[in-house]
Amino acid sequence: MSLDGKVALVTGASRGIGRAIAQTLAQAGAEVVGTATSEAGASAITEALSAAPVPGYGVAMNVADTDSVDSALKTITETSGAPVILVNNAGITRDNLMLRLKEEDWDAVIQTNLSGVYRTTRKVLRGMAKARFGRVVNISSVVAGLGNPGQANYCAAKAGIEGFSRSLAREMGNRGITVNCVAPGFIDTDMTKQLDESQREAMLGDIPAARLGEPEEVASLVAYLVSPEAGYVTGQTIGVNGGLYMG
Amino acid sequence: MSTVEERVKKIVCEQLGVKESEVQNTSSFVEDLGADSLDTVELVMALEEEFETEIPDEEAEKLTSVQDAIDYIVAHT
């Protein structure tokens, strides 16, 4: 599968699953633009993508901030042209049991994880419609389907992304644009390192594969979904979770 | 330099994939030229780009024919 000549935008690409996705798409020939919230993060992405067949670069962008998204997309489009591949991966957690979940923690997660997807997608969709080709992959989570105590905000945002994706898939299908979700399970990243030992043990016991997943195992599915070969796959949510959830 | 009418018709042809001979001033985008709702949104965005103007949603909804678009552009640019 080749992504030669295509510009791919990956949000939240400085670490974890986003970093692996950026690397994998770059190896497949895409010019990858990765975003991070800080300039330092953006520089690290540029460094990490410098050895790719088409060297990509990092851009500072906060998906929770409309002005930041607008100005970053302007820069990207001027520098590289309009992205035809978008991977909405940027996400945060602010876990707490519902009885203690503060409104600011609810808002922060919804703003970044759900509204952020709206902001970036809206900005790139026009270019995709013009090109009559587009690939949007939104990174959801196994907990969108399962639910997870202490993550009402996160689960709501992730489930929201899945409904968003199905609507958009219907709207844009006849323009050659596909929209899918990838729902990772328990992947070995900084985000899952925040879980405590008992949460970790409990989850591992429920995973048929009996191990954590690697970020690269998520990235390889994303690479397929954004490829020209995946043109008839749209509106789907595909799990990468070692069998934790088989919904 | 082409007239507004020529430029509007050219964009209509490009966006809706119709031949120039099919596009009359009285042509309705939806009824005569087969546009769906997404086509009409894209058409308005293409007009905005071509004429470097912003067409508010409530105005865009009223642009249902080629002549409507021409009149709007002439009045607002």
Q: What is the pLDDT of residues A34-72, one digit of tens each?
A: 999 999 999 999 999 999 999 999 999 999 999 999 999
Domains held by chain B: number: 1
The predicted pLDDT at position A192 comes to 80
- ipTM associated with this complex: 0.76
Nearest CA in chain A to B41: A126
Q: Tell me: the pLDDT tens digits for A3-40? A: 999 999 999 999 999 999 999 999 999 999 999 999 99
| Interface with B, mutate which of A130, A167, A170 (most B CBs under 10 A) | A130
| Residues in chain B within 8 Å Cβ distance of A134 | none
Q: Find all residues with CB under 8 Å of A126, minimum gap 6, and list them.
A: A82, B45
Mean pLDDT for chain A?
96
Under 8 Å between Cβ of A209 and A150: no
Q: Which of A141, A189, A181, A137 is nearest to A17 (CA)?
A: A189
Residues of chain B above pLDDT 70, percent: 99
- Determine which one of A57, A118, A154, A224 is catalytic: A154
| pLDDT score of B32 more than 90 | yes
Q: Tell me: the pLDDT tens digits for B35-55? A: 999 999 999 999 999 999 999
List beta partners, residue A137.
Answer: A87, A180
Binding-site annotation: residue ranges of A: 12-15, 37, 62-63, 89, 154-158, 187
With an 8 Å Cβ cutoff, are A174 and B45 in contact?
no
Label residue A4 exposed, middle or buried (CB < 10 Å: 0-12, 13-18, 19+). Answer: exposed
The predicted pLDDT at position A200 comes to 81
Does the active-site annotation cover B39?
no
List beta partners, residue A239.
Answer: A183
| pLDDT score of A1 more than 90 | no
Written as one letter, the residue type at A99 is L
Q: Which of B38, B34, B42 is nearest to B11 (CA)?
A: B42
Q: Could you tell me the pLDDT band of residue A191, with boundaries at 50, 70 and 90?
A: confident
Mean pLDDT on B5-22: 94
Nearest CA in chain A to B15: A130
| Structural domains in chain A, sorted by start | 7-188+216-239 (3.40.50.720)
List beta partners, residue A134.
Answer: A177
Mean pLDDT on A106-120: 98
List beta partners, residue A36.
Answer: A60
Å from A89 to nearest chain B CA? 27
- Which range of residues forms the domain containing residue B10? 4-76
Domain CATH number, residue B66: 1.10.1200.10
Residues of chain A above pLDDT 90, percent: 92
Structure tokens at A121: 């997608």
| Count of Cβ atoms closer than 10 Å to residue B57 Cβ | 8
Strands A85-88 and A177-184: unpaired
The predicted pLDDT at position A193 comes to 82
The predicted pLDDT at position A229 comes to 98
Q: Could you tell me the pLDDT band of residue A216, with boundaries at 50, 70 and 90?
A: very high
| pLDDT score of B1 more than 70 | no
Structure tokens at A186: 């328990």
Kindly provide the b/e burial profile for residues A108-128, where b requires at least 16 CB atoms within 10 angstroms of the residue's own CB: bbbbbbbbbbbbbbebbbbbb
